[in-house]
A and B are shown apart, each in its own frame.
Chain A
């Protein structure tokens, strides 16, 4: 276990360095001069040069990279070109909204996917399997923004049940209000996760049901329900760990479209605003943040998988 941990950590470090270089290069190659956002019409040429010097933009690119990475490691990702607020602060400000939305969506997806996947796998080829399959196919194929628009039309405009945008009603400060705002974005995101999870759970249920231990259980007189709940379920939960780990990377990027449609004040819509306003430090910060989440998520999934199933460690 420890050996695996060390090896995976060692693999992760160069990956992180490369990703940071790519993030940095992408912003460096971007068109436009960041100094211009600080320039006002009555400035002199010396003033502009001084700003450039203060920002470190007169140094060669590799020195700029080291300066940037030195600051980034201590948690300083620079300042927004648009509102001059610290980038780290802005990301942390938005993190709870995104993490809450994603957490709720993932939980909903897993809770629905487990029974549906088990049922479909256990009744292979029957109508329930076909129905679940159809739902899963639609889930991986439906454009989420379209689903969002349809929900907004039906529940906000037609029935007036739910608010169509934002996270809170202005002046109202209650958990119920946030919940009401969050239902639709949560359902939209959960649907896309659900589709992926159901397909995994279904196929691993089918695989488990052919294992010898299942036959033995039947021979001892277990019913199908007991076999499913007591034995198959345990094995089926395993791939979910991996899937959840991989979903960490989706934390930011996966919610961009959904957050934008519902004007949910999370990191995704912060990124959208930054891209529209060419706010490079914010873009760079979000890209780096979500890449790190993705890498760490994959790492966590790998390690947890090893803990949950010791057979895997001995194979590597």
Chain B
């Protein structure tokens, strides 16, 4: 089994995707371990900070999938501006 690593992300959900099970789908689809650390989500949208564990190339695919769902995904560190 390929060695796994952990990556930390910030996800921003637009209003139209708040009710969609994006996180659940990505975990199932790519067989990942995910851990939500902080979140602020309302009916109008929101953000969450999570860590995902998996093989690097699988994490690349998962990141792409989340982005294609319409959720803005960036490294959790990217708001340390």
Partners in one complex: no
List B residues at the A interface (Cβ < 8 Å): none
List A residues at the B interface (Cβ < 8 Å): none
